[in-house]
Amino acid sequence: MTFKEMTLMTTQTPSTEQIRQAWDSVAPGFDDFVSPLTMALGHTVLDRLDVGPGTAFLDVGAGSGALALPAARRGADVLAVDLAPTMIERLNARARELPNLRGEVMDGEHLDLSDDSFDIAASVNGVTLFPAVDRGIAEMVRVTKPGGKVVLVCFAHGVEHSEWVGFFFAAVRTAVPDAALPPMDPPPLPFQLADSRKLRTKLVDAGLSDVSVEVADWAIPVRSVAHYWDAVTASNPIATRIVAQLTDQQQADVRQVIDGMLRERSNGSPGAVLRNPMNIAIGTKP
């Protein structure tokens, strides 16, 4: 991929169908490698909410259930929606023993749900990466009951502060200096609300009150370079496309750099814990 194509990929608004296909193609790897790592973040978010039997809980851009599954295990009645059918297939397969969790394919920008119907509408790295993020937030607010909570979780501070993404970009830059990486200005969509003041303003502008934004640490334990590679390359279609431009030898070179970075972090052992500041924003619907 040329630099121009990479730029277009991150600055031109793709169609809903392109977004669906891109996420659907990474869904199997996402479910196998990323969701298990995100469950801990799901619990961190739920610990800040009143979630239990009887809570009507909506997870938007749910992926294969890193937030929805722990919410259902705490007893909530959970509807998990995602644009990508394979994410929802995987989620429903994980939810077989949880009658209080249901996954449905649905566009978060046009929720096919009634006004004022959920106690909590939440999204982890979902709505915050929509190109039409305002529309996604407005939909979450619309379907939340008066007095209910809207919860948005996304990377904080910026790409350079997220080791999960940062290790990958740094290793590609080191091993293949002429590889095309996404432009950082404006930042890639997963970081568009990394500035907590901007995130807060979005929630206030959407009509929410008592808005709080807390930065919490998401510590991701990776066992080895192989484990990290499988997970990071399935975590977002952008990563898949970066890898697609690399030859086998270049990929091996990137992995070698990552191996060195992990070992440097952990006194020579193959795995390490990657730290990521995350914004957890909560607002109340008046």
Give the residues lining the site for ligand SAM (CB under 6 A). Answer: 19, 23, 35, 38, 61-63, 66-67, 82-84, 87, 107-109, 124-126, 130, 236
- Nearer to ligand SAM (CB atom), residue 124 or residue 232: 124
The least distance separating ligand SAM from the CB of residue 29, rounded to whole angstroms, comes to 12
How many beta carbons lie within 10 A of that of residue 116, not counting itself?
12
Q: Kindly tell me which of 82 and 163 has the beta carbon lying closer to ligand SAM.
A: 82
Q: Which two tokens stand for residue 93?
A: 């397969």
CA 244, CA 236: separation in Å to the nearest integer?
13
Report in angstroms how near the CB of residue 145 gets to ligand SAM at its nearest: 21
C-beta of 152 vs 257, nearer to ligand SAM: 152
Token representation of residue 11: 């600055």
CB of 168 to ligand SAM, least distance (A): 14
Report in angstroms how near the CB of residue 280 gets to ligand SAM at its nearest: 13
Nearer Cβ to ligand SAM (44/55): 44
In terms of CB distance, is 261 or 278 closer to ligand SAM? 278
List C-alpha distances in Å: 256 to 33, 205, 239. Answer: 20, 46, 17
Q: Are strands 144-155 and 209-222 parallel, antiparallel or unpaired?
A: unpaired
CB of 154 to ligand SAM, least distance (A): 9
Distance, in Å, from the CA atom of 284 to the CA atom of 246, rounded to the nearest integer, reads 46
Of the candidates 76, 73, 94, 77, the one whose C-alpha atom is nearest the C-alpha of residue 28 is 94
Shortest spacing between CB 67 and ligand SAM, in angstroms:
6
Q: Report the C-alpha gap between 281 and 243 in whole angstroms.
A: 32
Q: What is the C-alpha to C-alpha distance for residues 1 and 63, in angstroms, rounded to an integer? A: 27
CB 35 to ligand SAM: min, Å: 5
β partners of residue 81: 60, 104
Residue 154 or 175 with smaller CB distance to ligand SAM: 154
Q: Closest distance between ligand SAM and the C-beta of residue 175, in Å?
A: 25
Closer to ligand SAM by CB, 67 or 143: give it.
67
Which residue sits closest to ligand SAM, CB atoms considered? 63
Distance of alpha carbon 152 from alpha carbon 27, whole angstroms: 21
| Tokens, residue 76 | 């909530």
Nearer Cβ to ligand SAM, position 63 or 182? 63
> Residue 158: left if φ>0, alpha if ψ -120 to 50, beta else—which one?
left
Q: Parallel, antiparallel, or unpaired: how do β-strands 101-105 and 144-155 relate?
A: unpaired
User: By CB neighbour count within 10 A (0-12 exposed, 13-18 middle, 19+ buried), where does 42 fall?
Assistant: buried
